[in-house]
A and B are shown apart, each in its own frame.
Chain A
Amino acid sequence: MAVVKPKVDAVIVGMGWTGAIMAKELTDAGLRVVALERGPDRDTQPDFAYPRVVDELEGSVHRKFLQSLAKETITARHSVKDTAVPYRQMGSFKPGTGVGGAGTHWSGCHFRALREDFNLRSNLRQRYGTKFIPEGMTIADFPVTYEDLEPHFDHFEYVCGTSGKAGVLNGARIPGGNPFEASRSREFPLPPNRNYLGAELFYKAAREMGYSAYPIPASNASAPYVNPYGCQMGPCNFCGFCSDYGCLNYSKASPNVSILPVLRLRKEFELRAHAQVLRVNLDKERAHATGVTYLDAEGKETEQPADLVLLCAFSLFNVHLMLLSGIGKPYDPVAGTGTVGRNYSYQNLNRVTLFFDQSVQANGFIGIGGGGATFDDLNGNQLDSARAGFVGGGVIWARQPGSGPIRGITTAPGVPNWGSAWKQGVKDAFRHSFYYEVQGACMSYRSNYLDLDPTYRDAFGRPLLRMTFDWNDNEIRASQFLVRKALDMCKVLNPKALSGDAKKAGEHYDITRYQSTHTCGGAIMGSDPKTSALNRYLQSWDVPNVFAPGANAFPQNNGYNPTGMVGALTYWAARAIREQYIKSPGALVHM
């Protein structure tokens, strides 16, 4: 018999960015909130304390801050014809665990989507005709506009102490920022970070190529900062341990640094770590959630009744919980029916590496996750899709989150993997090379989706989530186009050697190679309950007292990192709950 806890107003599943934002907003509104986090509680002290935190073996090999796949993972296959096999060793993407979630080990790139990213489908049809979007590509407009989200983008940047430079401020272009961005209502809370060599040279090469480079908006503080909640940040010291690591210096925004210090003091808020949510409990009609069932730290099955259930897990696991709990109808790619699992998309990441002689001090060990430079000349409406031969643009950037030898040293083309020549190769490359990356959008397709695996189970006996995903021609062409542009640009800098990894025609998705943790879609927001799992307030169409904020809501992924958008959407949903739902619980959008 499950232990039954006293009922609360809202239960939150997962204590990463979305969970922390929801907990803050809902306790602000006076609700009693319980948050259930599957991993341990974590904070800067002691978990990210120097020097232990910067042990590369523990951070990047044992992956001590990430999810253990032994307990929960996914299965993957390239097409419906294949049998999926488990994601046994971490590679392509890295879900977090513990309080802070992936928000502790992210890099800090903090973008707003472009205005045209919101109405992608109708914009492409308008620009290139109604037949331009290929058959099987299921991209859709977001059911919100940039203007809807602008105040929330703004607020989230101020919560995170984002360092950057506005390019368009209240409609007026200003030098130094991104000239193609949608208008901001305020300048960034902090000025841009200083440039390491790779970023400095990026500006030079971009200028020569006629691109408008600007500082990547970085939630890595360029100066001391106090956010609107009173949480403090210290200036980033370029330690080089962002991705995979919690910040040792209170410099990288995270739920732990930017929101939890306030939440932890609130009577209305209770955080239970090591609480593994197994399912959302629904009434007989599957139209109302009564709470969730979880395993407590001792493994005791426990029920937490609640009026409101907020799925704030990592995007893939939000979809997993919806499928396991019977929230909404599972997507069937053959019939084209159902919504949960639909429109899974990813990110099209490619890298070019530049090698120089010993006189060039690139110092890749100096790192800042979100710092660097990028440009939007090949993104959004700047890209002529008809000429380029693909839809969805992307950015090229200089980013240097910090490298160490355990994380791998990329050697120049022709260097073997071992022996004396390898030693010479790593010695030559380590301090004298840097890389630029191409981060492309990833469209959604009828054939790329999520459902439950028929064979494999997690440590709790539940079917694993199954990912059916492969690259489509559109993304392969995008990769080749953007990498070619990046290589052209690199030649301006006269490197001694240059390598690039554009995808080849017919290349399949390789889940063993780290690319990006930007797994998107699967429980998307939309304006039609037949083709979306969530309405414009991230509320389940089918079970209106369930909300599922996260990148799972993206109908497709754009060329930017998702966190800025995820945060803004979560604040947007929280406002709808505060201002509309609490007064009158029920569906916020009526069809």
Chain B
Amino acid sequence: MSDKAPSPSRRRLFKSLSLAPIAIAAAGCAREADKPAAPGAAAGGYRPAFFSAAEWAFILAACDRLIPADPIGPGALQAGVPEFIDRHMQTPYASGDIWYMQGPFIEAAPQFGYQGRLPVRDILRVAIKGIDAHCARHFNGKNFAQLDHADQETLLKSAETGKLELENISSREFFNQLLNETRMGYFCDPRHGGNKDMAAWKMIGYPGMRADYANWVEVRDQPYPLPPVDLAGKRG
């Protein structure tokens, strides 16, 4: 593909301008490990259409723990991961479009995968409610987003290993889906709402959607030189 950058669309220009202060804010609070994420603060002004206010607060806090801002690269909030997840939950994929969803729903060994009847978006919803209820019981009425970072991380770890007992849902299944969504939002093409400014691609050195490496297959002595390009043709 040609390396000429098409002029960025007005929408993208607007987005990158609106992101600038947030990027600074997110980087600035990276070291303040004990402060809970302020709901709505670092989401680029995006207003969720799928998640409720309580769910949104959870998503922001959890994403911030899973991919925190640090000197290595952008955090999930800076990269727009919550926006991605909220938008992704509204796609046919998240409502079970490509999953077999018919019963009966019976328990099976883990090698057969998730056998419940919830699609991704309801796995997230049901589990978020369950975790917030768990937090309220164990942390004086606080929800997950109101806990300090260390407690949030402990809870996420116990969900990751499946030790966290939730009603109606396997915490491990929830964690796997949430982590997947978070990583997808971090690394997706920006058109899906995440990976703002292709920052996650730049962090790992992914050239994005160039899809033509004929002249670099046999180069060994220098790093791939070109910055990423997204599906809209914008250069990072």
Residues of chain A having any CB pair with chain B under 8 Å: 50-52, 54-57, 61-63, 66, 68-70, 73, 76, 78, 83, 85-91, 194-197, 200, 235-241, 248, 361, 363, 365-366, 404-406, 409, 417-420, 422-424, 426-427, 430-431, 455-457, 508-512
Complex Cα gap A406–B100 (Å): 23
Segment of B13-21, B131-139, B203-211 in the binding face? B203-211
27 A-B contact pairs sorted by A residue (CB < 8 Å):
A51-B1, A51-B211, A55-B191, A57-B192, A62-B91, A85-B108, A85-B115, A87-B112, A89-B100, A89-B114, A90-B98, A196-B218, A239-B211, A365-B207, A366-B213, A405-B183, A405-B186, A405-B187, A405-B200, A405-B206, A406-B184, A420-B68, A420-B72, A508-B109, A508-B111, A509-B111, A512-B112
Name B180-208 residues within 8 Å CB distance of A.
182-184, 186-189, 191-192, 200-201, 203-207
Complex Cα gap A66–B96 (Å): 15
CB proximity of A347 to chain B, nearest CB, Å: 17
Binary contact readout B99-112 vs A (1 if CB under 8 angstroms, 0 otherwise): 11110101011111
B222 pairs with A70, CB closer than 8 A: no
Selected contact of A510 from candidates B65, B111, B217, CB within 8 Å: B111
Chain B residue contacts of A54, Cβ below 8 A: 209, 211, 231
Given contacts A57-B189, A417-B160, contact A85 B106 (CB under 8 A): yes
Selected contact of A68 from candidates B67, B97, B110, B201, CB within 8 Å: B97
Selected contact of A423 from candidates B70, B217, B220, CB within 8 Å: B70
Known: A87-B112, A238-B212. 17 other contacts (CB 8 A): A73-B100, A88-B99, A88-B114, A197-B220, A239-B213, A240-B213, A361-B224, A365-B207, A405-B201, A417-B179, A418-B66, A418-B179, A422-B67, A423-B70, A430-B205, A456-B102, A457-B102
Chain A residue contacts of B162, Cβ below 8 A: none
Chain B residue contacts of A83, Cβ below 8 A: 106, 108
A237 pairs with B201, CB closer than 8 A: no
Complex Cα gap A51–B2 (Å): 12
Chain A residue contacts of B110, Cβ below 8 A: 510, 512
Binary contact readout B142-167 vs A (1 if CB under 8 angstroms, 0 otherwise): 00000000000100100010000000
Interface of B is mostly: loop
Complex Cα gap A106–B211 (Å): 17
Selected contact of B217 from candidates A85, A238, A430, CB within 8 Å: A238
Complex Cα gap A196–B224 (Å): 13
Residues of B in contact, count (CB < 8 Å)? 64
A365 pairs with B206, CB closer than 8 A: yes
Complex Cα gap A200–B231 (Å): 31
B113 pairs with A61, CB closer than 8 A: no
A248 pairs with B204, CB closer than 8 A: no
Q: Is residue B36 within 8 Å, beta carbon to beta carbon, of the partner chain?
A: no
Complex Cα gap A55–B231 (Å): 7
Selected contact of A70 from candidates B101, B153, B201, B205, CB within 8 Å: B101
A89 pairs with B99, CB closer than 8 A: yes
A511 pairs with B213, CB closer than 8 A: no
The listed residue with most A CB atoms (<10 A of its CB), out of B102, B110, B200, B218, is: B102
Q: Output the nearest chain B residue to A238 by Cβ-Cβ distance.
A: B213
Residues of chain B having any CB pair with chain A under 8 Å: 1, 65-68, 70, 72-73, 91-93, 96-102, 104, 106, 108-115, 153, 156, 160, 179, 182-184, 186-189, 191-192, 200-201, 203-207, 209, 211-214, 216-224, 231, 233
Complex Cα gap A366–B205 (Å): 12
Chain B residue contacts of A78, Cβ below 8 A: 109, 111
CB proximity of A357 to chain B, nearest CB, Å: 13
Chain B residue contacts of A508, Cβ below 8 A: 109, 111
Q: Output the nearest chain B residue to A64 by Cβ-Cβ distance.
A: B98
Chain A residue contacts of B220, Cβ below 8 A: 197, 200, 361
Given contacts A86-B102, A512-B113, contact A70 B66 (CB under 8 A): no
Q: Output the nearest chain B residue to A423 by Cβ-Cβ distance.
A: B72
Complex Cα gap A361–B219 (Å): 8
Q: Output the nearest chain B residue to A419 by Cβ-Cβ distance.
A: B68
A76 pairs with B189, CB closer than 8 A: no
Chain A residue contacts of B206, Cβ below 8 A: 365, 404-405, 430
Complex Cα gap A87–B187 (Å): 27
Complex Cα gap A188–B73 (Å): 47
Q: Output the nearest chain B residue to A407 by Cβ-Cβ distance.
A: B187
B217 pairs with A511, CB closer than 8 A: no
Q: Output the nearest chain B residue to A409 by Cβ-Cβ distance.
A: B204
Q: Which 4 A-B pairs have the closest CB atoms?
A: A405-B187, A239-B211, A430-B204, A512-B113
